[in-house]
Amino acid sequence: MTLLVHDATLTYPDGEGRLTALDAVALEVPAGTLTAVVGPSGSGKSSLLAVAATLVTPDCGRVVVAGRDTARLTPAEKSALRREEIGIVFQQPNLLPSLTAAEQLLAMAHLSGRPPRALRRRALELLDAVGLADKADKRPHELSGGQRQRVNIARALMNEPSVLLVDEPTSALDHERGAAVLDLLAALTRERSTATVLVTHDRTHLERADRTAVMADGRLTEPLPAA
Amino acid sequence: MFVAWRDLRFAKGRFALMGSVVVLVTLLVGLLSGLTAGLARENVSAVTGLPASHVAFAAPPGQQEVSFTRSRVTEEAWRVWRDAPGVRSADPLGIRTADAAAGERTAAVSVFGVEPGGPLAPAAGGGPGPGRVVLTERAAEELGGLTAGSRLAIGPLELTVAAVAGTAAYSHTPVVWADLDDWQRLGSPGSGSDAASGATAATVIAVDATDGADLAAADRAAGTETQTVADALGAIGSYRSENGSLQLMRGFLFAISALVTGAFFTVWTIQRSGDVAVLKALGASTPYLLRDALGQAVVMLALGTGLGTALAAGLGALISGGDVPFVLDAGTVLVPAAVMIVLGALGAALSIRRITAVDPLTALGSAR
């Protein structure tokens, strides 16, 4: 199992009490599958992604990424795990304004201590895979919203992660462009054997998922059959 | 510095603006350093050039600090120093400022009275002797271009120029090296009748002592207070006040540079905190991000300081040959530049430490 979240509970301070963001959540995502997590705003979807991305440590429960129990990792080891094993597709592209599309990907290689120059070919292949081969030298402000989101996806795949965490990737896109991005994510998940978790509030996306789970009030209910 | 380099290129307007501030501050610091060194040279070069390790002053009364102006040492004190164990040489040195005249030209000079043939006396033209003086180049120039054999008058003395040599200056006046007996006939500053009484042998005693010499014991026996040559410069009133003011200005400029650089990088770090959160979420370690940001600061500081230093050196070269006292060397050019970079980097480091507090969680769900 590439991603395993076992009985994870996460609470935040809320006035004099605590707000439960995740309530004994359990999730298993095998390699090469796309699991969609749907639910309304505030249901705990983003908290689940944050826990799976090792950005937040749950109060109790376990998170295992690529066979490594993240509870035992130091902050530096968690950073390394995010670099090497976890790809994050942000809700908004979150591209760095000073970098071209290709450099957004090469920055990931540099973070991992690999020489960016040697990996330029791989970056261009990934941009080609998301349909942006001719935009490699464009900066974010020269790209459309859909193109920026595709660079966001390519960047997440640059270091060949085993887990891909996708946060509402179509929220800033129209329906047609959103559908294209989701088709791309589903295809890349199978092609590159990533364990992909897609968080969304839009149920029209579920047809691309291998499995679907519903999040409500911090609890993950029984997986629904794929739409 | 993958991201930092590209930030420098992308935000070149902002960095150029900040860099130009660094250029201007460096230019100012460079010019001020050269001027400070030039003025210091005109104040103390005759003292720093003495073949001595220490200067013995007459012990001042009470808790007063020693002063070249007030010090008057006796021949007895000199003999005590000459015979003190561990002292290689001890020679009386008389210093007073006087007006010299040659024809219709007059100039303020510092008369340094030394023993003819002694270690303090310049060797040029046989050195100073009874009725003969050695002029520094500036003294000769200010007196109308005197040369060896020319005549001049200092106070009641009619003197012959033995030679023109050296650039020694004291308290912004050129030095005239004279026989100590002639100097004594001029009288000590402010004393009037000391020469007649014979009580004053000289102003100070130039002492060349070994490391093991018991200076305190000699001071007690001679009634003197001894300082190293470097410390003794503080006993030149004009040097202490002038140098203190200029060094204070230089210090403020260094502080301003560090503060301005720190302020710029504080704003810059706040502006890019979103980028930092994204990079952290993607796996960038905090040390990586700190190195990246500090490297960016050092590059900007190095470029700005380099250009400012080049401009200061160029302007310094232009003015140092004229009347402006200006020293252009590694100490006045490279040292201030290095201090600017170090202090600027320190200011930047204090500013970019807020990178450690950026929460990568903010990258999830943020709109950028």
Between A109 and B192, the more confident residue is: A109
Average of per-residue pLDDT across A170-186: 79
Taking the CA of residue B270 and the nearest CA in chain A, the distance in Å comes to 15
CA gap A202, B67 in Å, rounded: 88
Q: Which residues of B touch A82 (CB under 8 A)?
A: 281-283
B364 → chain A, closest CA residue:
A90
- A3-220, CATH topology level: Rossmann fold (3.40.50)
Q: Which residues of B touch A53 (CB under 8 A)?
A: 281, 364
Average of per-residue pLDDT across A108-126: 87
pLDDT at B326: 87
Residue from A15, A39, A32 nearest A164 by CA:
A32
E strand map for A183-224: 195-200, 211-216, 219-220
ipTM of the complex: 0.88
- Yes or no, beta carbons of B364 and A167 under 8 Å apart: yes
- Yes or no, beta carbons of B282 and A112 under 8 Å apart: no
Angstrom CA distances, B266 to A68, B48, B262, B293, B348, stand at 38, 45, 6, 11, 8
pLDDT at B125: 83
- The pLDDT profile of chain B, 368 residues, written as one tens digit per residue, is 888 989 999 988 988 998 999 999 999 999 999 999 888 888 899 999 999 999 999 988 877 888 888 898 988 888 899 888 889 999 999 999 999 998 889 999 999 999 998 899 898 888 898 999 999 999 999 988 888 889 999 988 899 999 999 889 998 899 999 999 889 888 655 444 444 444 558 999 999 988 888 889 989 888 899 999 999 998 888 888 888 888 899 899 889 888 988 898 888 888 888 899 999 999 999 999 999 999 999 999 999 999 999 999 999 888 877 778 888 888 888 898 999 999 989 999 998 888 998 889 888 864 33
Q: Which residues of A touch B9 (CB under 8 A)?
A: 98
CA gap A115, A202 in Å, rounded: 39
pLDDT at A72: 87
Domain ranges of chain B: 2-43+239-363, 60-222
Taking the CA of residue A114 and the nearest CA in chain B, the distance in Å comes to 11
CA gap B249, B28 in Å, rounded: 10
Residue A101 scores a pLDDT above 80: yes
Average of per-residue pLDDT across A43-56: 91
- Yes or no, beta carbons of A98 and B10 under 8 Å apart: yes
pLDDT at A223: 61
DSSP B152-198: EEETTEEEEEEEE----EETTEEEEEEEHHHHHHH--TTTSSHHHHT
Q: What is the pLDDT of residues A10-36, one digit of tens each?
A: 998 888 888 888 999 999 999 999 999
CA gap A40, A20 in Å, rounded: 16
pLDDT at A224: 54
Residue A77 tokens, joined: 């080891």
Residue B153 tokens, joined: 């008058």
Residue B169 tokens, joined: 């200056």
Angle at B45 between CA B41 and CA B46, to 5 degrees: 150
The mean pLDDT of chain A is 88
Per-residue pLDDT band at A1 (split at 50, 70, 90)? low
- Yes or no, beta carbons of A96 and B279 under 8 Å apart: yes
Residue B2 contacts A where some CB pair is shorter than 8 Å: yes
Residue B357 contacts A where some CB pair is shorter than 8 Å: no
- Residue found by looking up tokens 């920055």 in the block: A107
CA gap B293, B336 in Å, rounded: 23
Q: Which residues of B touch A86 (CB under 8 A)?
A: 283
Residue B281 contacts A where some CB pair is shorter than 8 Å: yes
Residue B278 contacts A where some CB pair is shorter than 8 Å: yes
- Yes or no, beta carbons of B3 and A99 under 8 Å apart: yes
Residue B330 contacts A where some CB pair is shorter than 8 Å: no
Asked if residue A50 lies in contact with residue A211, where contact means CB atoms within 8 angstroms, the answer is: no
Per-residue pLDDT band at A222 (split at 50, 70, 90)? low
Domain ranges of chain A: 3-220
Substitution target from B12, B282, B286 for chain A, most A beta carbons within 10 A: B282
pLDDT at B196: 42
Percent of chain A with pLDDT over 70: 96
B292 → chain A, closest CA residue:
A111
CA gap A10, A25 in Å, rounded: 9
